[in-house]
Amino acid sequence: MKKVTLKEVAKSQQKLIALTAEHMGSNGSSHLPATTDQAGFMSADDKYQLDAKGDYARGLSDSDNLDILTLGFGKFVARNFINAPAEVDDTVCLVEIVGNSLWKRIRFDWIAAGKTYDRYIYSTMDTGWEYSEWVDIVPMNGFTGTIQGRKLYGNYWTQVEIRLDLKCNLTTNAITQIATIPTEMTFSSGPAIYGNLVAQSGGINTIANFTLHQGNMLEVFRDGATALSISRVYGTITFSR
């Protein structure tokens, strides 16, 4: 048996104490982080990402980084965000940033005004701040009631929603224009769009057809299979390019 000197024992003991302290008592990092294949400890980045997935929003002060474009993923509450939408004032706002290393979506809630803005960044593409607000559209040719539209933005698409609830008196199968869609909700190219809306004739449910062509002309006409006069048309039209 090899003889061990007291000095060697003391040296080994010091190494053991230092190793134990790294793992147990000194907030050290002498360990491997967990992976999808190997158990381990949680890294600082893992902890940050886990917290970011919850509903807790981190409060930021003026001494923190307030530049929305350089913040990490997560939810943040602060005043005076840098690179916020131009019209936003210095009231408290909520920012949510999601995505991955390739792209991200930034959602900005201007709480005091009740407005939400979205911004998508992918490689060299940056959509800028987009505000999806419902806009009133004026009905025409004897149709009365409500028509509203809005434009929604994504990182690969733009979508338009039109909702309507109109009273009318359609007694023939003639095509009738009911509205002109605002320019900001139309597209310069693409085929005409056709579909159905819910309709009523007295207390009977039926169908009315619609078409959106030349970019902005919204028209309806009575289904050729019915002889019912139509007193109401309503529903939602959704399309994208």
What per-residue string of b and e applies to 226-239 under the rule 16 or more CB within 10 Å gives b?
eebebbbbbbebee
* Both tokens assigned to 69: 């474009």
Domain boundary among 86, 108, 130: 130
Please check whether residues 58 and 139 belong to one and the same domain: no
In this structure, is residue 141 part of a structural domain? yes
> What's the rounded Cα separation, in Å, for the pair 31 and 21?
12
**Cβ-proximal residues to 239 (8 Å cutoff; 6+ apart), any chain:** 159, 160, 193, 212
* Both tokens assigned to 57: 């929003």
Domain boundary among 97, 130, 163: 130
Please check whether residues 227 and 167 belong to one and the same domain: yes
Look at residue 196 and tell me whether its pLDDT is greater than 80: yes
At 198-224, the pLDDT tens digits run 999 878 888 899 999 877 899 999 876
In this structure, is residue 17 part of a structural domain? no
Beta-strand relationship, 193-201 and 176-180: unpaired
In this structure, is residue 8 part of a structural domain? no
Please check whether residues 60 and 98 belong to one and the same domain: yes
Domain boundary among 96, 130, 164: 130
In this structure, is residue 157 part of a structural domain? yes
CATH of the domain at 225: 2.60.40.2460
Range of the domain at 89: 44-130
Please check whether residues 145 and 54 belong to one and the same domain: no
Q: Quick one: the chain helix, strand, coil %, rounded to 5?
A: 15, 45, 40
Give how far Cα 214 sits from Cα of 143, 183, 241, Å. Answer: 21, 11, 14
Q: What is the pLDDT of residue 173?
A: 82
> What's the rounded Cα separation, in Å, for the pair 30 and 139?
70
> What's the rounded Cα separation, in Å, for the pair 96 and 223?
46
Q: What is the pLDDT of residue 201?
A: 87
**Helices (H), ranges, the chain:** 6-20, 44-52
Query: Phi and psi (nearest 5°) for 11?
Result: -65, -45
* Both tokens assigned to 199: 């309709």
Q: Which residue has the tokens 């062509």?
A: 213
Please check whether residues 139 and 126 belong to one and the same domain: no
Name the pLDDT band for 2 (thresholds 50, 70, 90). low
At 17-48, the pLDDT tens digits run 766 666 555 555 556 777 666 777 777 666 66
Please check whether residues 87 and 179 belong to one and the same domain: no
Q: Which residue has the tokens 């390739």?
A: 102
At 40-84, the pLDDT tens digits run 777 766 666 665 555 678 999 989 999 999 999 999 999 999 999
Please check whether residues 55 and 93 belong to one and the same domain: yes
